[in-house]
Amino acid sequence: MKANSLLSMMLPPLLCASYVYGQVGVNTRNPVGVFHVDGKKDNNTTGIPTLQQQLNDFIITASGSVGIGTVNPDTSAALDMSSIKNKGILIPIITLTSNTDQTTIPLTKTGLLIYNTGTDAGLPTAGYLFWNGTEWRRLDNTSTAILTPVISGLNCSSASLSPGTFTAGTAYTGTFIVPYTGGNGAAYPSAAPVAASGLNFTLQAGTLSLGDGQLVYTVSGTPTASSPSTISVPITSGDRTALRQPEARLPR
């Protein structure tokens, strides 16, 4: 006994290590990936889950692909959710304070994508924006810098009203579209209604094209004349678009 004790004291300590390679399953005894979560615990104990069973599964494959709603994510995708048909992706909703805001999201990474609420006066553009390294830009890569909206002219002869007919004394609701040229890409707000022949024309908020585009008005009211007739619609700088022509006319 003493000899054994002495021998154990003389030998250096030996460490044994073993590595276990396998698959981890949560709510399933049959993981089919490196990490597999069965959300509803409805998978079979053997074999591949059915397509219906996969819809509530999350998986990480040996190649590093992540699948949500599928246990067989495409190897070309880092994240595959293509099997989900009745849900979308909700990315972070942020209120940015300017088109160069790097305080709301510190250490902003080039390519970062967010949804801006547009509720701050410093950056009223609502929608998906990405950081290009110096500025928050729209997905079409146009600037979100606040500009004074300017167009070079209206194509009044091509203005259109839909529905195209109206009757004096009968309530009317429709849309009035006026083509323009020379837009500078600036955003503009909705404007106060402009009254003409019993109808109210309200410019809808939007963003000017870089070049040619269309101004969209909603129309409502009770006209004092029936179509076919001409109604002169005053369009002024009060519409915040610096238009050059004083009015657009509905076609006869």
Extents of the domains making up the chain: 2-80, 90-146, 153-249
H or E stretch including 248? strand 247-249
Confidence grade of residue 5 (pLDDT, cut at 50, 70, 90)? low
pLDDT of residue 248: 45
The pLDDT of 73-85, averaged and rounded, is 94
Amino acid at 72: N
Would you state the structure tokens that stand for residue 71, as one six-digit string? 């246990």
User: What gap in Å lies between CA 138 and CA 92, rounded to an integer?
Assistant: 16
130 forms bridges with which residues in the sheet?
113, 137
Given a contact cutoff of 8 angstroms between Cβ atoms, the answer to whether 216 and 199 are in contact is no
Confidence grade of residue 121 (pLDDT, cut at 50, 70, 90)? confident
Q: Residue 137: is its pLDDT beyond 90?
A: yes
2-6, 155-159, 167-171, 236-240 — most confident range: 167-171
Task: Output the CA torsion sign for 144, 150, 151, 152.
Answer: negative
User: What gap in Å lies between CA 23 and CA 231, rounded to an integer?
Assistant: 74
Q: Quick: pLDDT tens for 11-45.
A: 555 444 445 568 999 999 999 999 999 999 999 99
The 3-state DSSP class for residue 156 equals helix
Render 16-62 in DSSP notation, one character per residue.
--------EEES-S---SSEEEETTS---SSSPPPHHHHTTEEEE-T
Average pLDDT, the chain: 85
Q: Quick: pLDDT tens for 38-60.
A: 999 999 999 999 999 999 999 99
Given a contact cutoff of 8 angstroms between Cβ atoms, the answer to whether 178 and 215 are in contact is yes
The pLDDT of 97-119, averaged and rounded, is 96
User: What gap in Å lies between CA 195 and CA 234, rounded to an integer?
Assistant: 8
Q: Residue 149: is its pLDDT beyond 90?
A: no
Q: Quick: pLDDT tens for 175-226.
A: 999 999 999 888 787 888 889 889 999 999 888 888 999 999 999 999 998 9
User: What gap in Å lies between CA 130 and CA 115, rounded to an integer?
Assistant: 9
H or E stretch including 5? helix 2-10
